[in-house]
Amino acid sequence: MSEHQKHTDFLRQCLLYDDSSKRHLLEKGINQSQRDAHCVWRAVWLMAMLTALSVTGLGYGAVLVDNFPYSTQPFIINLICALGVGSLICLVVLVGLAMIYRAKLDRQREECRQLIARLLESRLGKPATAPRQSMRENRVGKDDGVSIRINDSPERIESTAGG
């Protein structure tokens, strides 16, 4: 199981503590998005196999058959090429669709996080400390500079980002 799936399962378990209609809609949406993405990835696998099969068919003809394009019927070559090109086009479209479903699932996970945060705040109150800032927010935040030691001599590095 990937980290993305583990995180989604954890969020779905946390959603069980809320009994609002928003939770039910969100859970239903996450289930649907996961099913759709799984279906699309199975179709991607099928199209990749068909593309590989058509490339193998053309490779077989080019390597093992004497006078390949002229000794076989044009219908067979056209069929193999059409299968390869069609499955390659479908493969590109399906990968794009899978990326769209992944983005949709990521949006639903963010809504889930927000719902869980509101649930925890309503049950436990406001947190005692502010949430930890990300590394980027810390770098861009205050313009205090950082003191470091290099070869036992203190140096001061000034931040170039404005805050």
CA distance 74 to 69: 8
Query: What pLDDT, on a 0 to 100 scale, did the predictor assign at position 66?
Result: 74
Query: Looking at the predicted structure, is the pLDDT value of residue 25 above 70?
Result: yes
CA distance 81 to 58: 8
Residue with the larger pLDDT of the pair 19 and 102: 102
Residue 8, by phi and psi: left (phi above 0), alpha (psi -120 to 50) or beta?
alpha
pTM score, two decimals? 0.66
β partners of residue 154: 149
Look at the block and give the residue holding tokens 């390869």: 84
CA distance 102 to 43: 15
Of the given ranges (107-116, 120-129, 139-148), which has the lowest mean pLDDT? Answer: 139-148
Query: Looking at the predicted structure, is the pLDDT value of residue 138 above 70?
Result: no
Of the given ranges (44-53, 60-69, 91-100, 104-113), which has the lowest mean pLDDT? Answer: 60-69
DSSP code of residue 146: E
CB of 52 closer than 8 Å to CB of 84: no
CB of 12 closer than 8 Å to CB of 27: yes
